[in-house]
Amino acid sequence: MLTNPRALQIARDAFRGSTDYWNANIRPQVERDLRAFQGRHSADSKYSSDAYKGRSKLFRPKTRSTIRKNEAIAAEAFFSTMDAVSVTPENELDDMQQASAEVMKPLLEYRLKKSIPWFQTVIGAYQDAQTVGTVASYQSWKYDEVKGIDRPDIELIPLENLRFDPAASWIDPVNTSPYLIHLIPMYIGQVKRRMRQGTRGEPAKWFPLQDAQIKSAVRHYDSTRLLREDNRTDSRDANTAITEFTIVWVHRNIVEDDGIDMVYYTLGTEFLLSVPVPLSNEYAHGIRPYVIGCSILETHK
């Protein structure tokens, strides 16, 4: 049984182990790839040393221009027709499947054209895959009764904000990893609101915490995020007084326990925010709502 103390300990251990692997093996390569895309020399380049301080640092951005050309090809492939998607029955002789496909197509067309920024999502995902080799996304249904939001949502996730087990299968890391951890930046005001009330009139599902405990999850320096933002002031870092609009880091943890996927939230790795529940309680389909893909296969890696 996944008790609250055990759930918090598993979240800590999984995050610590996966982050150590990420920092040692993945982060340096991702940052080199991002620098190449930005037209900058790698951090360990001789042009970054004091000996070359006065030398020209001009960098021919071949990586960026190549990816831009590939993006144009991808845009033509995905958006050269008026139809955003093609839906056909698996068995064309089955009248039920045929009718289902005829109904599903206009529904998907509407969502991809009106609800989801499909062009930015597709080309952004392709850019991630081309730049750093891998792309990840989170699929959910966004509902906000107050704001009148009730629609599907696809969120592209920066790689530095997702953790999974390094020994997971290269073909399907999402479903073969014993855990998934999604690092979510949230405003303190949003966190407090979830502690006060639930969704759709339900009781609050997050445990109440003191302000000092919430503020403990404010700082989360990440060199990859800083590089991605082109060394501007970190948009996720609290460089002013702590307010309702200060960012804290919430972890969505999906952990396999006795063959059942359990999902729960933690504030960083220090405090438990929710009781672990079966994944099917949170997502009606019972499937881990994440996808990880690539544009160029590298087997067994």
Per-residue pLDDT of 226-247, as tens digits, reads 877 766 665 555 555 678 888 9
Per-residue pLDDT of 50-104, as tens digits, reads 777 777 777 777 889 999 999 999 999 999 888 888 899 999 899 999 999 999 9
Residue 142 β-bridge partners: 151
Nearest to 36 by CA among 60, 1, 2: 60
Angle at 153 between CA 152 and CA 155, to 5 degrees: 165
CB 236 within 8 A of CB 245: no
The pTM assigned to this predicted structure is 0.88
Backbone CA torsion sign across 77, 79, 85, 91? negative
Per-residue pLDDT of 101-153, as tens digits, reads 999 999 999 999 999 999 999 999 999 999 999 999 999 999 888 888 999 99
DSSP 230-268: TT-S-TTS--S---TT-EEEEEEEEEEETTEEEEEEEET
CB 153 within 8 A of CB 116: yes
**Helix/strand/coil for 278:** strand
